[in-house]
């Protein structure tokens, strides 16, 4: 599934750097809308995951490649940094989880889920306000201390969601979950990993802007 994301992301990335950057935006929109539709289908029809999860990754890759190209054009080299930090975080948390340094206790799960829900509500409110002309909400979009602090908080919560994914996979394997749940668990892990990457990208962009 990660390979599928990389393949489609590479295609839109290449399209952006072959002199026809405007052609990226339709594919970016297709990927953004398509991954939402397929993502919700996967959530409500978990047994369809062996088919819908790979499709989700291809669509997500279209969006991700376009977004990455836009950010890299504004801040050269930022994408490589974001990718490195994303996978570095993934492997560090996986190692910590395997060694028992981080445990997905009920309180831990409750805290992470509550924080994640709060972030999603803030993003939803921000989107709705933007429809009425409020395009800049400082503590989210700004490159000041509050904006950077908020992005750092979101990155931490996104990273901690990886621990929930590890626990979900381990618990499913221990309980002998159906075969299709392998794909559903991988789908959940990809959603978190890509969210983490995007948030790290946003954080690095704010840091670069603040230095300017």
Task: Specify whether the backbone of 26 is left (phi greater than 0), alpha (psi in -120 to 50) or beta.
Answer: alpha
pTM of the entire predicted model: 0.91
Provide Rg for the chain, Cα atoms.
Answer: 18
In angstroms, how far is CA 203 from the centroid of its own chain?
Answer: 13
Q: What is the pLDDT of residue 26?
A: 87
How many C-alpha atoms does 129 have within 13 Å on its Cβ side?
Answer: 12
Local confidence band at 27 (pLDDT 50, 70, 90 cut-offs):
confident
> What is the C-alpha separation between 180 and 48, in angstroms, rounded?
8
Classify residue 94 by burial, with Cβ atoms within 10 Å: 0-12, 13-18, 19+: middle
User: In the structure, how many helices (H) and strands (E) does the chain have?
Assistant: 8, 0
For the segment 114-124, the average pLDDT, to the nearest whole number, is: 90
Dihedral angle over CA of 87, 163, 141, 121, nearest 10: 150
SS3 144: coil
Q: Is the pLDDT of residue 54 over 80?
A: yes
Local confidence band at 19 (pLDDT 50, 70, 90 cut-offs):
low
Q: What is the pLDDT of residue 55?
A: 96
Q: Is the pLDDT of residue 84 over 70?
A: yes
pLDDT digits (tens, 9 = 90+) for 135-176: 555 567 777 788 888 899 999 999 999 999 999 999 999 999
Q: Which helix (H) or strand (E) segment is 15 a member of?
A: helix 2-16
Q: Is the pLDDT of residue 123 over 90?
A: no
Q: What is the pLDDT of residue 145?
A: 83
> What is the C-alpha separation between 169 and 190, in angstroms, rounded?
13
Domain ranges within the chain, ordered by starting residue: 1-74, 76-212
Q: How many CB atoms lie within 10 A of CB 211?
A: 7
pLDDT digits (tens, 9 = 90+) for 70-81: 899 889 999 999
């Amino acid at each position: 599934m990660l390979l599928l994301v990389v393949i489609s992301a590479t295609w839109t990335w290449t399209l952006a750097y072959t002199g026809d950057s405007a052609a990226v935006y339709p594919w970016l929109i297709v990927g953004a809308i398509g991954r939402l539709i397929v993502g919700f289908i996967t959530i409500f029809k978990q047994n369809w995951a062996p088919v819908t999860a790979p499709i989700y990754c291809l669509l997500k890759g279209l969006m991700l490649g376009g977004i990455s190209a836009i950010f890299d054009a504004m801040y050269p080299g930022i994408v490589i940094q974001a990718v490195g930090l994303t996978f570095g975080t993934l492997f560090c948390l996986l190692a910590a989880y395997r060694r028992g340094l981080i445990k997905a206790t009920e309180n831990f799960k409750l805290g992470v889920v509550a924080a994640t829900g709060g972030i999603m509500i803030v993003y939803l409110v921000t989107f709705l306000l933007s429809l009425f002309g409020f395009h800049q909400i400082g503590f989210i979009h700004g490159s000041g201390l509050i904006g950077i602090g908020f992005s750092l908080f979101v990155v931490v919560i996104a990273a901690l969601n990886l621990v929930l994914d590890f626990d979900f996979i381990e618990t499913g394997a221990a309980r002998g979950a159906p075969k299709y749940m392998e794909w559903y668990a991988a789908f959940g892990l990809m959603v978190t990993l890509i969210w983490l990457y995007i948030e790290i990208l946003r954080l690095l962009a704010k840091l670069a802007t603040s230095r300017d």
